[in-house]
Amino acid sequence: MADRPRHDPPAPRPGRTAGAAPKRGKIVTLDELLARRRGARQMGLTVVQCHGCFDIVHPGHIRHLRQARSHGDILLVTITGDAAYVKRSGAPLIPEELRAENLAELDCVDWVCIDPSPTAEALLQRVQPDVYIKGREYEHNSDPRFLAERRAVEAAGGRIVFSSGDVVFSSTALIAALERSADPYQARLSQLLDRPDLSGPALHNAVARFRGVPAVVVGEVIRDVYTLCDQPEVASESPVMTLRPLEHRQYDGGAAIIARHLAAMGARPTLVTALPEGPETDALVARLAAEGVEVRSVPCDQPLPEKQRFLVGAQKVMKLNNVRPLVLDAARQDALARLAADAAGGAACAVVADFALGLFSAGSIDAVTGALRPRVGTLAGDVSGRRAALTRFHAYDLLCPSERELRDALNCHDQGLASVAWDFMQRTATRTLIVTMGADGLVAFEPRASALQAGADFVSSVTGEHVPALCGHAADPLGCGDALLAAAALATAAGLGAMPSAFLGSVAAAAEAQRLGNIPISAADLRHGVVRIHTARLAWDPARADTTAAAIAEPAHAPATA
Do residues 128 and 190 both lie within one domain?
no
191 shares a domain with 161: no
Number of domains making up the chain: 2
User: Euclidean distance between the first and final Cα of the chain, in Å?
Assistant: 45
Do 385 and 341 lie in one domain? The reply is: yes
DSSP string for residues in 83-118: GG--SSSSS-SS-HHHHHHHHHTSTT--EEEEE-SS
Which pLDDT value is given to residue 92?
66
Decide if 14 is inside a domain.
no
Nearest to residue 369, comparing CAs of 306, 361, 527? 361
**Of all residues in the chain, what percent are helix, strand and coil, respectively (each to 5)?**
40, 20, 40
Give the C-alpha separation, 257 to 263, whole Å. Answer: 10
Residue 8 lies inside a defined structural domain of this protein: no
- Give the whole-angstrom CA distance, residue 401 versus residue 479: 13
Alpha-carbon dihedral 310, 312, 317, 319, rounded to 10 degrees: 10
Question: What sign does the CA torsion over 251, 257, 259, 263 have?
Answer: positive
**Global confidence as pTM:** 0.65
pLDDT for the residue 16: 42
Residue 548 makes CB contacts below 8 A (sequence gap 6+) with: 200, 534, 535, 541
CATH of the domain at 549: 3.40.1190.20
What's the residue count for the chain?
562
pLDDT at residue 232, rounded to an integer: 81
The values of phi and psi at residue 552, to 5°, are: -70, -40
Domain boundary among 122, 147, 169: 169
Please report, as a single letter, which amino acid is at residue 491: A
Same domain, 372 and 513: yes
- pLDDT, residue 534, reads 86
- Say yes or no: 158 and 296 in one domain: no
Are the CB atoms for 434 and 446 separated by under 8 Å? no
Domain final position from 120, 146, 169 = 169
Give the Cα separation of 97 and 232 in Å (integer): 41
Do 495 and 544 share a domain, yes or no? yes
Domain range spanning residue 77?
Answer: 23-169
**Residue 122 belongs to a domain:** yes
The C-alpha atoms of residue 159 and residue 363 are separated, in whole angstroms, by 65
Q: Buried b vs exposed e over 39-62: b needs ≥16 C-beta within 10 Å?
A: ebeeeeeebbbbbbbbbbbbbbbb
285 and 413 share one domain = yes
Cβ-contact 354, 384 below 8 angstroms? yes
Phi, psi of 322 (to 5 degrees): -95, 80
Q: Are 304 and 279 in contact (CB under 8 A)?
A: no
Write the burial class of residue 321 (CB in 10 Å: 0-12 exposed, 13-18 middle, 19+ buried): exposed
| DSSP, residue by residue, 425-457 | HHHHT-SEEEEE-GGG-EEEEEE-TTTTSTT--
H or E segment at 487? helix 480-493
DSSP letter string over 256-320? HHHHHHHHHTT-EEEEEEEE--SHHHHHHHHHHHHTT-EEEEEE-SSPPPEEEEEEETTEEEEEE
pLDDT tens digits in sequence order for the chain, 562 residues long: 344 344 443 343 443 433 334 455 899 999 999 999 999 999 999 999 999 888 777 666 787 888 888 899 999 999 988 877 655 444 567 788 888 988 998 889 999 999 988 889 999 999 999 999 987 667 666 778 888 999 999 999 999 988 654 444 445 555 554 454 444 456 678 788 889 999 999 999 999 999 999 999 999 999 999 999 988 877 777 788 888 898 899 999 999 999 999 999 999 999 999 999 999 999 999 999 999 999 999 999 999 999 999 988 878 888 888 888 888 888 999 999 999 999 998 899 999 999 988 898 878 899 999 999 999 999 999 998 767 789 999 999 999 999 999 999 998 887 778 888 988 999 999 999 999 988 888 999 998 765 544 444 444 577 888 898 888 777 888 899 999 999 999 999 999 999 999 999 999 999 999 898 899 999 999 999 999 888 864 443 434 444 444 444 444 333 333 2
Would residue 176 count as lying in a domain?
Answer: no
The continuous run of DSSP H or E covering 38 comes out as helix 30-42
Residues 461, 329 share a domain: yes
Q: For residue 403, which of 371, 344, 445, 461 has the smallest C-alpha distance?
A: 445
357 and 283 in a common domain: yes
Whether residue 257 contacts residue 356, with contact meaning beta carbons closer than 8 Å, is answered with: no
Do 125 and 198 fall into the same domain?
A: no
Q: Which of 521, 476, 524, 517 is nearest to 252 (CA)?
A: 517
Neighbours of 398 (CB within 10 A): 28
Whether residue 295 sits in one domain with residue 234: yes
Q: Does any domain span residue 396?
A: yes
Identify whether residues 447 and 541 lie together within a single domain: yes
Residue 113 belongs to some domain of the structure: yes
Q: Which DSSP symbol is given to 142?
A: -
**Residue 562 placed within a domain:** no
Q: CATH number of the domain that 56 lies in?
A: 3.40.50.620
Q: Which of 124, 147, 169 is the last residue of a domain?
A: 169
Residue 35, domain member (yes or no): yes
